[in-house]
Structures are given as structure tokens and as C-alpha cells.
Amino acid sequence: MPPDAKLARLERTNFGGNTMIAWLGTGLLGSGFVRALRQRGETVHVWNRSSDKARALEADGAIAFDDPADAVRGVPRVHVCLSDDAAVDDVLALARPGLASDVVLVDHTTTSPARTAERVARWTALGIAFQHAPVFMGPQNALDATGFMLASGHRGLYSRLEPELSKMTGRLVYLGPEVPRAAGMKLLGNLFLEAMIGGLTDVLTLARALGIPPDEAAKLFDWFNPGAQAPARVARMLEGDFERASWNLSMARKDARLMMEAAQAGGRDLTVIPAVAALMDRWLQAGHGNEDWTVIASEVVK
């Protein structure tokens, strides 16, 4: 059946009810999802490269397999939750001999946007529907159906999957028909998380250098919530409103200098702030010292 006809048929397919599901990849996150599916009464086949992790889920009523092709055989919906692009491609290649002609693949792995687009196109050309649905969730979120799940790609396929995917998360967000959009937005979110943890590490590093105990430094966030400022900050950056400064670049750079000097005086080195300071220096040299310090993002928001 041509790929377009296959997708059109899937738009009329009901994935609800107590259908058989296969889950490939039962690490911490995958195990949480499987246990939640079992609590809802779903029949779940499981496979993991380390078979003991799949076997452990038999206590929850899942059916473990040693071969991914056997795990997916005759199953209408297969979920994948693996480590990276290479793992997704390798495992699905192993599973392919067992895939039913009308199977739907749902991949929750954080993957490259470009390789996600190529993967979806490749499986679609083979007549296999493929939905990428990465998540902002930990193991407990998966078990409790909280957190966020993203999806993008073919609207008809997503619409048929939406009722079942919605049961797996606190919020399901469809980002439109561009296949790699969900993968890209997942990377943006993870970038912010990594930058935040890097910034918090600098906070605790500077606290140590200043002789402030880490637990006392952490109390700063009991009353100071910089995260609440993010929507307003990014909105102003997108507007390009840099001339009306609330904290000008020269003063922000001075504060960065004070941070680095204090850390070094205490025998510590910061990680994130020196990189930000270097970017500030470039914009200061270009004559933007009296503008709002968010001018450092002006090239990427134009």
C-alpha cells in the first residue's frame, strides 16, 4: 500500500481499548511508562538490550521477550524509548521482521532533528507509520502520567494517536506538521535545563568562594525566582527592545567581573559566567554598553 494511502487508513484507525502494545527500551523512563500502561490494564510486550530490566517488569504483568522481533510480532502499536539515534535505528532494524503491516511506531527518544526527519521518511516509504513524541518527563512522571510530551508530523496520524498519548502525560503538545519540530523543541528545552544547572553550579561555586554554605545559598531561591522572569525576558528580546535598558550591558559586565574576581579570590573558577562575559565583551567593543544587556542576543532574534 502506498505510504499516503497507509496514513489515510491510519486516520480512521482507533488505537483505544485494551490493545496489545510493545515497548522497546525499559530503562528508568521506559519502565515507568510500562508500569503505568499495566495499571490501566493494557497488555504490554517488553524488550530491553539488558534483558534483566525487561524481566523485572514481569512482576507488573508485562510479557518479556529476548528478541525485539518477537516482542513486536502482531502488535498494532510499538513504543520506543532508547538512548540515541543509533540505538533507535539498530533496535528497529532488529524488530522489523516481526512488525505487522499496519503497525504504528511511536518513538519517545531524544534524537537529532535531522535524523528524526530522515527516519520518519524512511519508515513511511516502507509503509510503516512513525510518530516521534519526545518527553520532558522523569521516571515518576511516566508512572504518574504527568509532565510534558511533544509531537509533530502528519496531523491525521497524530489525531488518531492523541487519545492514547494523552493518557501517558500531563500535557500533550502538538507542534505542527514539520516532522523534526518536536525533536528540535526537545533539544531547546534540554539546552535550557543544562544551562540552568551550569548556572546553579556557578552560584554554588561562588557561594563556596565567599564562605556562604551551599544550603544557605540555596535559600536565595525561596524568595528570588529568576525562572518567572523568563517569558518577559524572551518577549523583550524578540521585540528587539534594547535601547530602553533596565540593566545596561556595561553594568552587567561589571557584575560578571565581580563574580569572577570573587570566585578566583576564594580559589574557585566559574564555568558559565566567563563564557557569557566573553560575549558581553564583543558587544561592548561594538559600542552597545548603554543598551540593555540582552542585546547580546540581538543577532539570533532578528
Q: What is the pLDDT of residues 227-265, one digit of tens each?
A: 888 998 898 899 988 999 999 999 999 999 999 999 999
C-alpha cell read off for 105: 511506531
pLDDT at 276 over 60: yes
Q: What is the pLDDT of residues 104-120, one digit of tens each?
A: 999 999 999 999 999 99
* Whole-number pLDDT of residue 138: 96
CATH, range 3-179: 3.40.50.720
When pLDDT is averaged across residues 59-84 and rounded to a whole number, the result is 97
Mean of all residue pLDDT scores within the chain: 94
What is the rounded distance in angstroms from the CA atom of residue 47 to the CA atom of residue 69?
A: 9
In this chain, the answer to whether the domains covering 3-179 and 185-301 adopt an identical fold is no
Q: Record the pTM.
A: 0.90
pLDDT of residue 286: 97
Residue 11, pLDDT > 70, answer no
pLDDT at residue 12, as a whole number: 46
Task: Give domain limits for the chain.
Answer: 3-179, 185-301
Q: Express each pLDDT in 175-208 by its tens digit.
A: 999 999 999 999 999 999 999 999 999 999 999 9
What pLDDT sits at residue 227?
86
Tell me what pLDDT residue 5 has: 52
Q: What percent of the chain has pLDDT over 70?
A: 94
List, for residues 155-171, the tens digit of each pLDDT value: 999 999 999 999 999 99
pLDDT tier for residue 1 given thresholds of 50, 70 and 90: very low
Q: What's the CATH architecture for 185-301? A: Orthogonal Bundle (1.10)
Task: Report the pLDDT value the prediction gives residue 4, as an integer from 0 to 100.
Answer: 57
Of residues 223 and 301, more confidently modeled: 223
The closest of 239, 247, 249 to 283, measured between CA atoms, is 249
Statement: residue 212 has pLDDT above 60:
yes
Mean pLDDT across 22-31: 97
* pLDDT number for residue 13: 47
C-alpha cell at 34: 510500562
